[in-house]
A = this chain, B = another copy of it.
């Protein structure tokens, strides 16, 4: 079963190099021998050994995708990125090696980065200060971030412009007359760890609140429905003046809806809510969420594209893509109505 290029050459009565060239087309091979070789290859179902090829060529035709550890469930948006990255990579005949990073899986990341297992890396869930970025940088391995650090100039990335988007959400709510708005962020641990979207969303929120002279409340919330429920319960109790929420925590939204319903608040009649979410999720919520739909497909595909360019020319200048999709109105926001 272990058929190699030498065996093909022997059976076809040619040299190993001829088989190689017949395969890669990097030098002319007469039609006759080409066909003879092709016949043997198909008969034995031969395929070049990837490890040998990688060793010789110095490239693996594989990219690494570093994801948050699986233990904490991925968000819909993250899943969208994984799916489209895999898809775009397959389209370019690249394989994808998955590496859960963070927590207990440092070894996996280390293997990917330093074992020459991949030609480049796509890094998700980047912190403002991120050790992995430092590691990748010093390793010299080409990489692209889905997300960016606080010094984003000297790396290549695609990202969602949470700052602008949350700001737009607030302005949209303010236009509807809301004066007391809460931002429901991701988990406190994540924000404390310097999670970029969390900080940037907060910055955008603060800015817009100041611009419109509103009263803003900031709350962190873990990534699940239960947390969303208790977070909003608490917000409603502690801040009876609130009439709207802006959020980047898509996983907690169903819980927020539930808390509002339990408090007897109808959306959007009594309370408005807008956010940044994966389009698929926003559309499938009940009611569908007014949100800035993150174009995960485009971003994921672009990340792969940028990585391929970067692998081809590691010295090229860094490129960036900051996505700020428009807000899709789906009916979870309406005119402000003061609460009791």
Q: A51-B55, A90-B105, A140-B1 are in contact. Are A95 and B70 (CB under 8 A)?
A: no
- In the assembled complex, the Cα of A93 lies from the Cα of B115 at a distance in Å of 13
A117-B50 in contact (CB<8A)? yes
A95-B117 in contact (CB<8A)? yes
A284 within 8 A of B: yes
Q: A55-B55, A83-B73 are in contact. Are A95 and B108 (CB under 8 A)?
A: yes
A100-B115 in contact (CB<8A)? no
Chain A contact-residue range equals: 35 or more
Q: A47-B114, A49-B55, A115-B50 are in contact. Are A98 and B96 (CB under 8 A)?
A: yes
- In the assembled complex, the Cα of A140 lies from the Cα of B45 at a distance in Å of 12
A93 cross-chain contacts in B, Cβ below 8 A:
107-108, 111
A37 cross-chain contacts in B, Cβ below 8 A:
none
- In the assembled complex, the Cα of A107 lies from the Cα of B82 at a distance in Å of 19
A87-B73 in contact (CB<8A)? no
A106 and chain B: residue at smallest CB distance: B90
A284-B254 in contact (CB<8A)? yes
Contacts from A to B (Cβ < 8 Å)? 1, 45, 47-52, 54-55, 60, 62, 65, 67, 69-71, 73-74, 79, 82-84, 86-87, 90-91, 93, 95-100, 104-105, 107-108, 110-112, 114-117, 139-140, 224-226, 254-255, 257-258, 280, 283-286
Mind listing 9 A-B residue pairs with CB under 8 Å?
A1-B139, A45-B114, A67-B86, A70-B83, A73-B280, A74-B83, A93-B107, A224-B284, A254-B286
